[in-house]
Amino acid sequence: MLTYINENFLHAPSTDLGREVVHLLINLLMAQSTEVFTAKLMDERKSPGLVCRSANSAAAMYIGLTEEIQQFQGKGIFDRNWLYIVTIKAKLFSSVAQYYRSLADKGGGAALVRLKMASTLASEAAKQAASFSYGYYATPTLPADAGTSLVEITKAHAALCTEAAAQAVRDNELIYHDILPSEAALPAIEKLPAATPITIQEVYANPDVSKLIGPDIFARLIPLAVHESASVYSEEKAKVIRGEVERVDANEGEIRAALDHLGLPRVMDQLRSLLDGEETIECDLPPTDCTDPTADLRRLDGSRESCRRQLNDLVSLLDNESRECERMRVSHCPRVLIQAKHAPQITQPPSNTGHFRSNITSNLEALSAAANSDERLNQLWREIAPDIAILAQGNLQAIAQRIAAGSEPATPGATPSLLDLDDNPYSPSSATPLSPDSITTLGQIISSTHQHLDRLGKVRRERDQVLKDLKEKVSWM
């Protein structure tokens, strides 16, 4: 029934019929049915392996329900007592699963460890049940004896586990003498396949379903077309929110990646400490691969010239093939024969190498484009090689010395940057204390960078606030 409601209510008229609430109720019924099935297996004295798997399934379902119900606390949807009941049953059936798995292990160190685990979980369940029963009062969704029943069930199981654990300790000391493994080393208990809801169509035929459900009593108040339109409208609103959230997440990821790569604002703080008079600071700048690519570019040039020669050789071969083909056609098929009546019997076609020549031309053009690209890369490397060598040292004092060499801004009023450096590489052996001009220039760079970081932080906060306002306004539309 709940599944039918969840699939056919296009627009839930109230919170208690919302998809999340109905889904939680379905999971609760599945956990209770698994609990009943486990109790039936225990009453019929089925094999301990089967009972422990069923109990472990019930425990896993109740553990999941504990997390789900906590999300609805304080919203007036669920009786708060259900959170305590689900928590107690999660502990109880975890203990039952460990107890019956120890019976399946038939003695030894693993069985003793499982019995101790079962005893601990059962004691915790008994304490929680006693606390729940002390403050319990009857509610419309629970019977009056719910508290006392849980206390009796948990106390009986805790006594059983304690007695079994004590007996297992004596058996291990007298018979097995096994070294006890850790709890983490024990193999996990398998679960029985989870129960699945039976659809209403499997219980009733289609005419009976319609008769059972009856006509829509709100048809005149809110027609079905209005429900459908409201559902479509809600989905469109959700689509807008999802799109904006995805864009915000993508932009935030790019910002974080860029700041992490640049080492900001950590590097600025360390530079500020350097200006305050501290000695050389080894800065964990972003890792920089300063390997000289010139040798690789030369190898690429050699490979490219080799490919070019091979392509030119192929062009020469195609030209020779075309000339030879035409010579053979002329020698075997003179003009007089072509004009004779036997001309249709000439079968040798002319040379057809157009597609080969087209491919060779495309490859030659690609080689030329690659040569231009490699030349640009080589030129770019020559420009940034001195700065790369400085950054690879990871030494703020060295960077400050580079700034000292080019302390004057490029244009009046322009803000200096780390790019306004001369081309002379820094030599650690020639390091000198920072001059006043260098300190002033470095301070301007740090101040400008901090202003940009503050502005970026303000933009990020405004963006998050706008997204929050958008969600609130869309929810009220």
pLDDT for the residue 7: 76
Cβ atoms of 406 and 435 within 8 Å: the answer is no
pLDDT for the residue 151: 92
Distance CA 15, CA 24 (A): 13
Judge whether residue 403 has pLDDT over 80.
Answer: no
**Residue whose C-alpha is closest to residue 65's, from 16, 25, 96:** 25
Stretch 94-117: mean pLDDT, rounded? 88
**Residue whose C-alpha is closest to residue 125's, from 82, 174, 85, 92:** 92
Considering only residues 445 and 437, tell me which one the structure prediction assigns the higher pLDDT: 445
The pLDDT tens digits for 312-363 are 888 888 888 888 887 776 665 555 444 545 555 555 666 677 788 888 888 8
Judge whether residue 408 has pLDDT over 50.
Answer: no
Distance CA 62, CA 92 (A): 10
Q: Among all chains, which residue has been given the structure tokens 């479509």?
A: 232
The fraction of the chain above a pLDDT of 70, given in percent, is 78
Categorize the per-residue pLDDT at 172 as very low, low, confident or very high, splitting at 50, 70 and 90. Answer: confident
Considering only residues 466 and 385, tell me which one the structure prediction assigns the higher pLDDT: 466
**436-476 and 396-405 helices, crossing angle to 10°:** 110
Considering only residues 129 and 332, tell me which one the structure prediction assigns the higher pLDDT: 129
pLDDT for the residue 18: 80
pTM summary value: 0.47
Instruction: Please give the torsion angle defined by the CA atoms of residues 140, 38, 34 and 182, in that order, rounded to the nearest 10 degrees.
Output: 110
Which amino acid, one-letter code, is at 333? C
Length of the chain: 477
**Residue whose C-alpha is closest to residue 27's, from 107, 104, 105, 82:** 82
pLDDT for the residue 394: 58
From first CA to last CA, the distance across the chain in angstroms is 31
Bridge partners (DSSP) of residue 142 are 139
Query: Could you tell me which residues come within 8 angstroms of residue 7 by beta carbon, excluding any fewer than 6 positions away?
Result: none
Judge whether residue 68 has pLDDT over 80.
Answer: yes
pLDDT for the residue 295: 79
Judge whether residue 1 has pLDDT over 90.
Answer: no
Task: Indicate the average pLDDT of the chain.
Answer: 79
Categorize the per-residue pLDDT at 96 as very low, low, confident or very high, splitting at 50, 70 and 90. Answer: very high
Distance CA 350, CA 102 (A): 88
Considering only residues 77 and 13, tell me which one the structure prediction assigns the higher pLDDT: 77
The fraction of the chain above a pLDDT of 90, given in percent, is 21
The pLDDT tens digits for 233-256 are 888 888 889 899 999 999 998 998
Cβ atoms of 325 and 351 within 8 Å: the answer is yes
pLDDT for the residue 300: 85
pLDDT for the residue 421: 41
pLDDT for the residue 277: 64
The pLDDT tens digits for 259-297 are 888 888 888 877 777 777 654 445 445 555 556 677 787
Categorize the per-residue pLDDT at 30 as very low, low, confident or very high, splitting at 50, 70 and 90. Answer: very high
Judge whether residue 119 has pLDDT over 80.
Answer: yes
Cβ atoms of 46 and 102 within 8 Å: the answer is no
Distance CA 390, CA 65 (A): 58
Q: Among all chains, which residue has been given the structure tokens 């087209």?
A: 358
pLDDT for the residue 345: 54
3-state secondary structure the chain: CHHHHHHHCCCCCCHHHCHHHHHHHHHHHHHHHHHHHHHHHHHCCCCHHHHHHHHHHHHHHHHHHHHHHHCCCCCCCCCCHHHHHHHHHHHHHHHHHHHHHHHHHCCCHHHHHHHHHHHHHHHHHHHHHHHHHHCCCCECCECCCHHHHHHHHHHHHHHHHHHHHHHHHHHHHHHHCCCCCCHHHCCCCCCCCCCCCCCHHHHCCHHHHHHHHCCCCCCCCCCHHHHHHHHHHHHHHHHHHHHHHHHHHHHHHHHHHHHHHHCCCHHHHHHHHHHCCCCCCECCCCCCCCCCCHHHHHHHHHHHHHHHHHHHHHHHHHHHHHHHHHHHHHHHCCHHHHHCCCHHHCCCCCCCCHHHHHHHHHHHHHHHHHHHHHHHHHHHHHHHHHHHHHHHHCEHHHHHHHHHHCCCCCCCCCCCCCCCCCCCCCCHHHCCCCCHHHHHHHHHHHHHHHHHHHHHHHHHHHHHHHHHHHHHHHHHC
Distance CA 284, CA 288 (A): 11
